[in-house]
């Protein structure tokens, strides 16, 4: 998938090594994915939450107060990071 808005992740990079490692793995997984629908996404990320049409919230590893909102266009192979959410 093509990942748009990756610079928004800078808001949480450098917080700690766990988050940095998780972000690197998460970005790699998204970029190399060829999901055709939400069930494949949910299989890869069981903790992901659908919030509206094609938008999902990814909780950041072991940090329930930090998440990433992403919208997917499965047919076009595009994922757009909308925001990093800190509660």
Q: How far is CA 31 from CA 6, 28, 64, 73, 78, in A?
A: 11, 5, 23, 13, 9
Q: In the chain, what are the domain boundaries?
A: 2-86
pLDDT band with cut points at 50, 70 and 90 for residue 14 = confident
Q: Over the stretch 35-73, which tens digit does the pLDDT of each residue have?
A: 999 999 999 999 999 998 899 999 998 777 899 999 999
Q: Is the pLDDT of residue 21 over 90?
A: yes
Pick the CATH number of 2-86 from 3.40.50, 2.60.220, 3.30.2310, 1.10.3470: 3.30.2310
What confidence score (pLDDT) does residue 87 get?
A: 78
The HSE-up count of residue 37 (CA atoms within 13 Å, CB side) is 1
């Amino acid at each position: 998938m093509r990942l748009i808005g990756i610079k928004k992740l800078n808001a949480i990079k450098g917080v700690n090594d766990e988050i940095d490692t998780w972000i690197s793995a998460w970005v790699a997984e998204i970029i190399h994915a060829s999901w055709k629908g939400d069930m494949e996404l949910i299989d890869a990320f069981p903790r992901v939450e659908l919030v509206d049409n094609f938008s999902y919230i990814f909780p950041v590893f072991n940090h329930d107060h930090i998440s990433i909102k992403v919208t997917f266009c499965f047919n076009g192979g595009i994922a757009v990071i909308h925001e990093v959410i800190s509660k």
